[in-house]
């Protein structure tokens, strides 16, 4: 289809059907959530699962299926983790589908909105300011078409697109309008080939996952040597390699070594982290909050500065024309409303018609469109030349002949009239803006725009103001309460807007922020350090360009802040993408929603406190749970090393450690990870966790070793020794659970109580006792268990006391 008529009419239904049948559509696997294969791979094909499977297989070969219980636990962990993530994926993908962005195409001479996936090869895309380009194409018609390709190429300046130029999927139309024929779709398009844009699931920096990975890597390095150390020690316990092999005791030595290895692996920690992320995302989805990357749930807890665009965030986003404030001397000889400024010129003819034209033009922005209702005069003006509106220069210009002859400029007063001759005009504009109204000026000069003016985007000389125009925005009813929440939580708020600084400051004061005045972003320094200093001194910034919004986010990050950015306009896209957590409104442009990590589907600002609270619940609970798992890993590592060095028989069977793991960590951790928790985030998750887990694990490991040494010296038989060792380990584990669950209230009492009942049952029920290899403890074993349990509990309390002081010294509360 190369003829002009075809380009105007677009594809026919038959041509579309043919391309759909051939697979030449823009359908592409959406990467807003994890693929099924990545979920299976992450939960099944891991190093530690490989170790567990190998140990499981060895025990089955040895005929010790009773000691292979941990294999069932690992399988259950894998299934639960996969099911939870699949459920989260289904919920999020459903929401993503319901709120999928659309493209505007011309088909059979009609303008139609279709989903991005329904765009086909050779479709004619109709492009307007604010659109995200759905597929790669070639421009066939351009009216000052400009595209921002920064998300694809890193080039922040808008690129002019002329006829025959290529446009790239994922780029954003920031000015003008045009049409383009689609040349590449689906996986062949430029945007979909960029892994950094496609694989959104893993983009968020997650301290939880990074910390867990560090622990797992450390364990992976030491688990092999420690396993060999324990195996060698157990072989020597049974008389050395020749004797153990000939007597068959090598089998028990292998079982003991496997018990020590399995205990060292924090089996459920990755599972609990994934479940907490997934459940948090699903809970937010129920509140109409779409989480496009699961780790973003955690990132919300770390935010300490939130940057808000005014329009659509603090305000409803709907602009209503307020009033015209003429600045000329009327034809009757009386002065205009600007009495303070003597204006020598009279009103140029046709200015109301010009405002009607501005309100009716196809690519008018929301502010200009308000003029259509106020100036409903028949508008038959045809422009001779024009310079479309740009958010960078903040004005547009058009030339007419006839009734409204000359050049007319509509834009920000400070941007259009910058000389000293217009100080009083700008002063009046500032007064109007200080009342919370958005202010534009209409200017005029008799000269027409020349091609040189259009190409260089400059204005002819002799421009004079005609009228100031004010527009109103209604403040969101939930803004005051929401900002009050952030203030109470220690989250700093920055308002960054493209509007007049005083207008923005007035709105900020209306919603309860301390903002005596707004700072004009044109005076912001380019140097990042100087910019960061200005950001510390001011709260409200006006006349901020899209590039400056991004620079503001970067400067805050360079000062050590974790930054969230909210917005709905295409001019917010760069900053939202750069922020640690980008939050977009559903009403926003497709480009903004595409780069955001969280989308407020109903556009309600009041959801943000709940979003932050959910993130805090996730990270606070996972920190608590991680201490349980890491303490177990610490004492298991200590036990393996000390029993390996001392050449003593390992005092546990794998099945017994499985019971300890389930009662003191696995089952309670599942519930603790999902409980309400409003503790504020404090950096240093891994350091805090290890500062408790390592010394507590050392106490537990040495106490158990001391028990085994004392029991062995007293001549206690191996079965009874294992019974006592398991009892000590379970009692201490339950006490650590109590310590890390404080304050003990509500469901925590039920959970801990249930685990204690479980401990009694495994020792009291004959079937469980027989299966686990327990026996009735003698008096000396009972005394050793009670005495050493008290010693260990006292040691854990000392560790906790020191740990709390350590955490407080590093800015935390010590509470979980």
**Catalytic annotation, residues:** 309
Q: Which residues make Cβ contacts (< 8 Å) with residue 209, sequence separation at least 6?
A: 273, 295
Radius of gyration, alpha carbons of the chain? 34
* DSSP string computed for 262-283: HHHS-TTHHHHHHHHHHHHHHH
Distance, CA of 146 to CA of 490 (rounded, Å):
41
**Is the Cα torsion angle 772, 773, 774, 775 positive or negative in sign?**
positive
Contact at 8 Å (CB) between 491 and 612? yes
Strands 563-567, 540-542: pairing kind? unpaired
- Count of Cβ atoms closer than 10 Å to residue 344 Cβ: 7
Widest pairwise Cα distance in the chain: 121
- Give one DSSP letter per residue of 115-131, joined into a string: EGGG-BTT-EEEEETTP
Give the span between the Cα atoms of 289 and 598, in whole angstroms: 7
Tell the burial category of 242 from Cβ atoms under 10 Å away from its Cβ (0-12, 13-18, 19+).
exposed
Q: Are 321 and 374 in contact (CB under 8 A)?
A: yes
Torsion of CA 141, 147, 152, 153, to 10 degrees: 100
CA end-to-end span of the chain: 66
Give the single-character DSSP code of 348. Answer: P
The count of C-alpha atoms lying within 13 angstroms of the C-alpha of 747, restricted to the half-sphere facing its C-beta, is 10
SS3 (DSSP) at 630:
helix
Q: Which residues pair with 400 in a beta bridge?
A: 406
| In contact, 447 and 460? CB cutoff 8 Å | yes
Contact 89, 294 (CB under 8 A): no
Q: Which two tokens stand for residue 751?
A: 């959970």
**What tokens appear for 658 in the block?**
């499985």
Residue 631 near residue 700 (C-beta atoms within 8 A): yes
- Contacts of 460 by beta carbon, 8 Å cutoff, 6+ apart: 407, 445, 447, 448, 449, 450, 453
> d(Cα 134, Cα 277) in Å, to the nearest integer?
30
Rounded CA gap, 75 and 43, in Å? 10
Residue found by looking up tokens 């409204």 in the block: 404
CA 554, 556, 558, 559: dihedral to nearest 10 degrees?
170
For 96, 298, 598, 812, the CA distances from 611, given in Å and listed in that order, are 18, 10, 9, 22
Residue pair 765/697 in contact (Cβ under 8 Å)? The answer is no
Q: In this structure, are residues 623 and 677 in contact, taking their beta carbons and an 8 Å threshold? A: no
Which residue's structure tokens are 């033009």?
A: 361
Query: Token pair 């364990």 is at which residue?
Result: 219
**What is the rounded distance in angstroms from the CA atom of residue 443 to the CA atom of residue 686?**
60
Strands (DSSP E) contained in 592-693 are 598-600
Distance (Å, whole) CA 105 – CA 736:
63
């Amino acid at each position: 289809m190369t003829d002009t008529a075809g380009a105007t009419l677009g594809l026919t239904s038959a041509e579309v059907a043919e391309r759909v049948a051939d697979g030449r559509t823009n359908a592409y696997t959406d990467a807003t959530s994890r693929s099924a294969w990545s979920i299976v791979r992450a939960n099944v094909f891991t190093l530690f699962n490989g170790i567990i499977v190998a140990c499981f297989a060895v025990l089955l070969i040895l005929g010790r299926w009773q000691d292979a219980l941990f294999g069932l636990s690992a399988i259950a962990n894998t299934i639960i983790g996969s099911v939870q993530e699949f459920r989260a994926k289904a919920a999020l993908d459903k929401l993503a589908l319901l709120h999928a962005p659309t493209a505007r195409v011309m088909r059979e001479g009609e303008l139609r909105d279709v989903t991005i996936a329904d765009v086909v090869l050779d479709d004619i895309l109709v492009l307007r300011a604010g659109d995200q380009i759905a597929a790669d194409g070639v421009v066939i018609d351009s009216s000052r078409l400009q595209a921002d390709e920064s998300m694809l190429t890193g080039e922040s300046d808008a690129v002019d697109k002329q006829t025959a130029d290529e446009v790239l999927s994922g780029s954003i139309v920031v000015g003008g309008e045009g049409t383009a024929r689609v040349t590449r779709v689906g996986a062949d398009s430029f945007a979909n080939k960029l892994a950094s844009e496609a694989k959104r699931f893993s983009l968020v920096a997650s301290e939880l996952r990074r910390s867990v990975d560090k622990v797992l890597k450390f364990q992976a390095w030491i688990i092999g040597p420690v396993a060999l150390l324990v195996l060698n020690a157990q072989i020597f316990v049974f008389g050395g390699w020749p004797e153990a092999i000939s007597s068959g005791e090598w089998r028990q030595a292998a079982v003991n070594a496997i018990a020590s290895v399995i205990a060292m692996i924090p089996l459920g920690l990755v599972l609990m982290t994934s479940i907490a992320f997934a459940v948090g995302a699903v809970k937010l989805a129920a509140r109409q909050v779409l989480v496009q990357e699961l780790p973003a749930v955690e990132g919300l807890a770390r935010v300490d500065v939130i940057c808000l665009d005014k329009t659509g965030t603090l305000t409803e986003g709907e602009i209503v024309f307020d009033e015209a404030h003429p600045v000329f001397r009327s034809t009757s000889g009386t002065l205009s409303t600007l009495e303070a400024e003597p204006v020598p010129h009279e009103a140029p003819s046709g200015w109301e018609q010009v405002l009607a034209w501005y309100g009716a033009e196809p690519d008018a922005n929301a502010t200009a469109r308000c003029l259509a209702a106020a100036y409903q005069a028949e508008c038959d003006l045809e422009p001779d030349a024009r310079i479309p509106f740009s958010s960078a220069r903040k004005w547009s210009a058009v030339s007419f002949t006839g009734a409204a002859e000359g050049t007319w400029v509509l834009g920000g007063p400070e941007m259009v009239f910058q000389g000293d001759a217009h100080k009083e005009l700008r002063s009046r504009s500032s007064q109007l803006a200080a009342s919370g109204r958005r202010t534009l000026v209409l200017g005029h000069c008799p000269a027409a725009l020349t091609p040189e003016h259009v190409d260089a985007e400059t204005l002819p000389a002799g421009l004079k103001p005609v009228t100031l125009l004010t527009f109103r925005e209604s403040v969101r009813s939930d803004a005051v309460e929401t900002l009050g929440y952030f203030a109470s939580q220690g989250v700093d708020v920055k308002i960054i807007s493209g509007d007049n600084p005083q207008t923005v400051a007035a709105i900020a004061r209306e919603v309860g922020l301390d903002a005596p005045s707004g700072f004009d972003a044109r005076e912001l320094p380019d140097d990042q350090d100087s910019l960061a200093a200005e950001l510390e001194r001011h709260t409200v910034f006006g006349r901020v360009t899209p590039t400056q919004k991004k620079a503001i986010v970067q400067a805050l990050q360079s000062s050590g802040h974790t930054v969230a950015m909210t917005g709905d306009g295409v001019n917010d896209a760069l900053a939202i993408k750069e922020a640690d957590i980008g939050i977009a409104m559903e009403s926003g442009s497709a480009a903004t929603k595409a780069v955001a990590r969280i989308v407020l589907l109903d556009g309600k600002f009041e959801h943000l406190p709940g979003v932050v609270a959910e993130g805090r619940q996730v990270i606070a609970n996972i920190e608590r749970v991680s201490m349980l798992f890491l303490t177990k890993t610490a004492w298991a590592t200590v036990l393996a090393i000390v029993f390996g060095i001392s050449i003593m028989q390992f005092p546990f069977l794998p099945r017994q450690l499985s019971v300890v793991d389930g009662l003191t960590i696995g089952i309670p951790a599942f519930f603790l990870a999902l409980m309400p928790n409003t503790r504020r985030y404090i950096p240093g998750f891994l350091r805090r966790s290890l500062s408790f887990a390592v010394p507590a694990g050392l106490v537990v490991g040495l106490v158990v070793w001391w028990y085994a040494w004392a029991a062995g010296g007293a001549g206690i038989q191996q079965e009874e020794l294992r019974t006592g060792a398991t009892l000590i380990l379970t009692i201490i584990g339950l006490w650590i659970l109590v310590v890390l669950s404080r304050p003990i209230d509500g469901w925590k009492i039920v959970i801990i109580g249930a685990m204690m009942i479980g401990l009694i049952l495994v020792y009291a029920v004959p079937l469980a006792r027989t299966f686990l290899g327990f026996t009735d403890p003698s008096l000396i074993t009972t005394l050793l268990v009670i005495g050493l349990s008290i010693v260990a509990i006292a040691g854990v309390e000392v560790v906790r006391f020191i740990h709390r002081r350590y955490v407080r010294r590093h800015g935390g509360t010590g509470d979980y």
